[in-house]
């Protein structure tokens, strides 16, 4: 965090260093104009009044009627929302301001009523920290108008406050008056539904009915069990008697009835007498004897009478023999007991059927009780809800009627605005205001200029934009006139770029090139870099100077170095080394010259191949098989080959040669290249698949760098006399 703050401070400091002249140029005119404007203005007086607010209305709190009316609470519940700010905005609202203006008849310079916007410009409302008080201030050239404006504004606000809350209560009362009849109708309807339900289902108390039904079912089940046991006992006794009698219960009943019938028994007795007489007569008389025939006829008549009498008693039953019609006393007792048992069984069966029906009825009712209870609860809930709503509406209606007659405001004036005696403006305030305005204008100007300046300004911006490894930082001897770049057509490298590694070996620039040489060696520890292409985004970034000095620095390590001027658009290497350019690279490519005659040895281990005559189509020559063959030949004959190519904004020559080389060294000069061209060059290198070794930031001015002590901490080590001698000659350096 601390490093970020330090970095931000350094960035702002650099901007200030670059733009301070423009800032000062804006500051003083604005400062002076502000002072003049302040002196021409009339003295302004400020009146001050105070309003106190209560969280809740005191009267409502004491009476307990509608305590929520006028309660100060923000809509957005957070720690930053203050309800006093809302009330301050209400005071600034157009109706209250307009009412104040009309009451005081405040007019502007033209004699018309003051506009609301102009009144608000003179009005200041703020809350007193730590209190529920709003401070209302109004500025005016007339102190009496200022005081009246504050007092009238506060009174208008209090009227609005009471009126607003009363109108809200009135609206609520009217709404409640409309809702109460509807709520009452709902209550009556719900109660009627509940009453009809109870009447229809004969409900008094479902819970008591359920308890009684459970007890009744239990008693019925007990009675049913007892009757079933008695029926079983009677059935078993009857079965035993039937077995003894050898007849059914119906037969036993019939026989008992016959045996107890006097007519049947008399007929049987007479018939038995006739049969005895017939037996006696047959012993002495033949069957054809008239007496026998008479007795037979009499017996048959008695049998018919007996049969009729039996038929009348035993309807539907067949009596096998008249002998069975006379039972003994035991059988009669058994038959009588059998009849009693059968009658008892039938009575018990009837009781069982009755009790079973009652049990079924009670069980069905009991099973239906939960459903009835559910319906009753739903109806009761509807009645309760309707009654609650109705009661609440009645209560609120009464409260709203009472609240309408209360003082519903929650604010009061605790300090009337007195007429101010002294103006608020003073010379010190005028100077401070003018200085602050000038400072803001100055900062805005510097920010605007900085934001519109799209050029890369220092090493950090170059690193951030290009995202390439920083291999070298080359300081500049020149003193820029307007920041780093030139706004004319002059070459920033100077009309004649110089070789500082050879001419000024003990200088920061020479040491920077030697550091670049070392860094190139370190990044290629696994593979030796023999062919290096040097290019840049735009022209005038010093790539040719960098290529020449780098070649010189490598040659000083006793390595055979060939410097090739591959810029066939604007070649400069022949000017740097004072060589003729009539024969060079272009001539060798087309076969007009031999490479051995075109290459010139400029010092020990350093050879230079100029560009030669500028061809009409440089790109076609450089991107050719002949050029690739030449580079392979140079790679075999020299320890290192440095190729100076045109910038990427001019053509694709560097990209074509980069494919044939071992790597591309990219030169960036702050103040010369803008972010658009730099981004274009970066994109071109990435898309063409170049092996970019890194970047060299050239022409760096120490005062423009936030970390100048890190990059240029060795300047004191070198002789100031030699450096001063070089700078005084042409601002860049000279050859020895």
- Mind listing the pLDDT tens digit for each residue in 605-664? 999 999 998 888 888 888 889 999 999 999 999 999 999 999 988 888 888 898 899 999
Q: Is the pLDDT of residue 68 over 60?
A: no
More confident residue, 683 or 441: 683
Mean pLDDT of 381-391: 88
pLDDT category at 212 given cuts 50, 70, 90 is confident
Q: What is the pLDDT, as a whole number, of residue 562?
A: 95
Q: Can you give the three-state secondary structure of 509-540, one letter per residue?
A: HHHHHHHHHHHHHHHCCCCCCCEEEEEECCCC
Angle at 370 (CA atoms; ends 364, 374), nearest 5 degrees? 140
Higher pLDDT among residues 358 and 729, named by residue: 358
Q: Using one digit for the tens of pLDDT, what is the confidence trace for 513-556?
A: 999 898 988 887 677 889 999 999 888 888 999 999 999 999 99
Percent of the chain with pLDDT over 70: 77
Q: Across residues 713-734, what is the average pLDDT?
A: 40
Dist CA 523 CA 525 (whole Å): 6
Statement: residue 326 has pLDDT above 70: no
- Do 602 and 581 meet the contact criterion of CB atoms below 8 Å apart? no
Please indicate whether residue 69 or residue 495 has the higher confidence score (pLDDT): 69
Average pLDDT, the chain: 78
Nearest to 308 by CA among 264, 274, 265: 264
Instruction: Work out the pLDDT band at 486, boundaries 50, 70, 90.
Output: very low
- Considering only 15-19, 121-125, 181-185, 541-545, which range has the smallest mean pLDDT? 15-19
Alpha-helical segments (H) within 490-624: 500-503, 508-523, 543-555, 573-576, 585-590, 595-598, 618-622
User: What are the distances in angstroms from CA 355 to CA 233, 345, 493?
Assistant: 19, 15, 127
126-135, 167-176, 708-717: which has the highest mean pLDDT?
Answer: 126-135
Residue-level pLDDT at 639: 93
Q: pLDDT value at position 39?
A: 63
What is the per-residue pLDDT for 677?
A: 86
* Beta pairing, strands 133-140 & 45-53: antiparallel
Close Cβ partners of 265 (under 8 Å, ≥ 6 residues apart):
259, 325, 326
Q: Which CATH superfamily is domain 458-483+493-718 in?
A: P-loop containing nucleotide triphosphate hydrolases (3.40.50.300)
> d(Cα 728, Cα 701) in Å, to the nearest integer?
17
Q: Which residue has the tokens 């608000």?
A: 120
Q: Which of 287, 704, 329 has the alpha carbon at shortest distance from 484? A: 704
Rounded CA Rg of the chain: 65
Does residue 600 have a pLDDT over 90?
Answer: yes
The maximal CA–CA distance of the chain, rounded, in angstroms, is 202
pLDDT of residue 316: 55
Q: Which residue has the higher pLDDT, 449 or 27?
A: 27
Residue 346 has pLDDT above 60, yes or no: yes
Confidence band (pLDDT; 50, 70, 90) for 705?
A: low
- Top pLDDT among 165 and 189 is at 189
pLDDT digits (tens, 9 = 90+) for 406-436: 655 678 888 898 988 877 765 666 677 777 8
579 pLDDT higher than 50:
yes
Taking residues 452-458, report their average pLDDT: 71
As a whole-number percent, the residues of the chain with pLDDT over 90 amount to 14
Q: Per-domain residue ranges for the chain?
A: 209-376, 458-483+493-718
Quote the pLDDT of residue 534.
Answer: 94
The residue to which tokens 């003729």 are assigned? 580
pLDDT tens column, 69-79? 555 555 445 55
Measured CA to CA, the distance from residue 669 to residue 190 in angstroms comes to 91
Higher pLDDT, 635 or 728: 635
* Mean pLDDT in residue range 500-524: 87
Does the pLDDT of residue 487 top 50, yes or no? no
CB 168, CB 403: distance < 8 Å: no
| Distance in angstroms (rounded) separating the CA atoms of residues 5 and 125 | 36
By mean pLDDT, which of 331-340, 361-370, 540-549, 646-655 is the weakest?
331-340
d(CA 506, CA 30): 49
What's the average model confidence in pLDDT over 560-564? 95
Rounded-to-10 torsion of CA 77, 83, 88, 93 = 60
Query: What does residue 696 show for φ and ψ, rounded to 5 degrees?
Result: -120, 120
What's the average model confidence in pLDDT over 106-133? Answer: 87
Contacts of 523 (CB under 8 A, 6+ apart): 469, 471, 693, 694
Position 233 confidence tier, pLDDT thresholds 50, 70, 90 = confident
CA 42 to chain centre: 54
The secondary element (H helix, E strand) that includes residue 53 is strand 45-53
DSSP 85-153: HHHHHHHTSHHHHHHHHHHHT-B-TTSSBPPHHHHHHHEEEEEPTTSSEEEEEEEESSHHHHHHHHHHH
* Mean pLDDT calculated for residue range 111-118: 88
Tens digits of residue pLDDT in 10-21: 566 666 666 667
Taking residues 50-62, what's their average pLDDT? 66
Residue 491 binned pLDDT confidence (cut-offs 50, 70, 90): very low
pLDDT of residue 731 exceeding 60, the answer is no
| Segments of 383-541 assigned E as strands | 411-415, 470-475, 531-536
């Amino acid at each position: 965090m601390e490093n970020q703050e330090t970095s931000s401070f350094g960035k702002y400091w650099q901007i200030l260093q670059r733009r301070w002249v423009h800032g000062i140029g804006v500051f003083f005119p604005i400062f002076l104009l502000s002072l003049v404007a302040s002196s021409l203005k009339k003295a302004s007086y400020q009146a001050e009044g105070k309003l106190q607010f209560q969280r809740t209305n005191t009267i409502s709190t004491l009476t307990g009627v509608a305590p929520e009316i006028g309660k100060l609470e923000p809509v957005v519940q957070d720690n930053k929302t203050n309800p006093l700010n809302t009330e301050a905005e209400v005071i600034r609202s157009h109706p209250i301001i307009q009412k104040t203006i009309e009451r005081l008849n405040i007019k502007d310079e033209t004699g018309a009523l003051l506009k609301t916007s102009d009144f608000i410009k003179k009005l200041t409302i703020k809350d007193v920290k730590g209190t529920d008080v709003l401070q209302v201030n109004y500025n005016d050239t007339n102190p009496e108008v200022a005081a009246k404006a504050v007092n009238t504004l506060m009174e208008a606000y209090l009227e609005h406050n009471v009126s607003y809350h009363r109108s809200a209560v009135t609206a609520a009362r009217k709404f409640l008056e409309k809702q109460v009849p509807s709520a009452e109708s709902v209550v009556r309807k719900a109660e009627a539904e509940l009453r009809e339900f109870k009447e229809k289902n004969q409900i008094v108390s479902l819970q008591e009915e359920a308890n009684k039904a459970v007890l009744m079912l239990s008693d019925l089940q007990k009675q049913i069990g007892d009757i079933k046991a008695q029926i079983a006992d009677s059935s078993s006794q009857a079965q035993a008697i039937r077995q003894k009698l050898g007849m059914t219960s119906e037969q036993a009943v019939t026989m008992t009835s016959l045996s107890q019938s006097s007519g049947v028994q008399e007929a049987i007795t007479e018939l038995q007498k006739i049969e005895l007489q017939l037996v006696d007569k047959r012993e002495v008389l033949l069957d054809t004897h008239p007496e026998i025939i008479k007795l037979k006829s009499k017996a048959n008549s008695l049998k018919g009478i007996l049969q009729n009498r039996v038929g009348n008693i035993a309807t539907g039953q067949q009596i096998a023999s008249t002998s069975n019609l006379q039972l003994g006393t035991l059988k009669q007792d058994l038959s009588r007991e059998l009849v009693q048992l059968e009658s008892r069984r039938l009575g018990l069966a009837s009781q069982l059927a009755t009790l079973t029906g009652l049990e079924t009825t009670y069980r069905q009712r009991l099973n239906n009780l939960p459903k009835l209870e559910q319906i009753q609860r739903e109806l009761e809930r509807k009645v309760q809800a309707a009654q609650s709503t109705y009661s609440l509406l009645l209560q609120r209606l009464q409260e709203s009627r009472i609240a309408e007659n209360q003082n519903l405001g929650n604010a009061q004036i605790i300090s009337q605005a007195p007429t101010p005696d002294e103006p608020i403006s003073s010379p010190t305030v005028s100077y401070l205001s003018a200085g602050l305005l000038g400072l803001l204008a100055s900062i805005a100007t510097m920010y605007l200029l900085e934001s519109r300046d799209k050029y890369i300004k220092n090493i950090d911006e170059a690193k951030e934009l290009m995202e390439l490894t920083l291999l070298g930082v080359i300081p500049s001897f020149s003193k820029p006139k307007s920041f780093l770049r030139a706004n004319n057509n002059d070459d920033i490298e100077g009309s004649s770029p110089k070789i500082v590694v050879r001419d000024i070996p003990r200088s920061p620039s020479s040491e920077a090139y030697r550091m670049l040489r070392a860094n190139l060696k370190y990044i290629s520890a696994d593979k030796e870099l023999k062919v290096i292409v040097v290019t840049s985004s735009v022209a005038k970034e010093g790539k040719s100077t960098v290529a020449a000095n780098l070649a010189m620095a490598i040659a000083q390590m006793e390595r055979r170095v060939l410097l090739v001027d591959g810029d066939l658009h604007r070649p400069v290497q022949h000017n740097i080394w004072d060589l003729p350019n009539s024969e060079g690279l272009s001539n060798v490519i087309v076969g007009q010259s031999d490479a051995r005659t075109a290459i010139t040895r400029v010092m020990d281990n350093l050879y230079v191949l100029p560009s030669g005559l500028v061809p009409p189509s440089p790109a076609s020559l450089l991107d050719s098989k002949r050029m690739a063959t030449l580079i392979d030949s140079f790679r075999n004959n020299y320890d290192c080959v440095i190729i100076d190519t045109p910038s990427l904004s001019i053509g694709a020559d560097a990209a074509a040669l980069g494919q044939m080389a071992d790597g591309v060294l990219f030169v960036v000069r702050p103040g010369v290249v803008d972010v658009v061209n730099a981004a274009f060059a970066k994109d071109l290198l990435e898309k063409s698949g170049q092996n970019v070794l890194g970047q060299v930031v050239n022409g760096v001015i120490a005062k423009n760098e936030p970390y100048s002590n890190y990059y240029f901490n060795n300047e004191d080590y070198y002789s100031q006399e030699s450096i001063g001698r070089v700078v005084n000659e042409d601002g860049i350096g000279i050859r020895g």
